[in-house]
Amino acid sequence: CDDMASSSGGTEDVVICINCRQSIQYKLHVKCCECPAIICIDCFSYGCEAGSHVRGHNYEICDPLGGRTFDAKGSWGAIEEKKLLAAAYRYKLGNWGEVTKLMETNRPISEVQEYYDRFFIRGPIGQLALKKLN
């Protein structure tokens, strides 16, 4: 789903629901395949029709975070995890402020560090790596 067009400044444009006007840039949402409508899940579930958009249009579900990998009910997605791994590789484990900054996330530093520890150190990947070292 490609609704995250870059503005001339190289930063992402804000994605807004055509109906309720809420920012849905980092949330699961619906993109119409027949008109330029982008709709939040709540408005879509109520059958929102706005502008040239009608309920019968074909659509696609957009998940800007990517599919869930470790925590199916969690808010972290594969795209954000990829950014976390790349940033941790670049700044090493201990410079969590720079890791978080490079990820371009609104998550607190403590949440980024805890997630990395929980899933990449103490989780299956970290445990497999430790077995290989022993």
pLDDT at position 58 is 94
Vertex 55 angle, CA 50 and 57, to 5°: 100
Positions in the chain whose pLDDT score sits under 50: 4-11
What is the pTM assigned to this prediction?
0.59
The answer as to whether 34 is a domain residue is yes
pLDDT at position 72 is 58
pLDDT at position 6 is 32
The answer as to whether 4 is a domain residue is no
Cβ atoms of 91 and 83 within 8 Å: the answer is no
The answer as to whether 72 is a domain residue is no
Domain count, the chain: 2
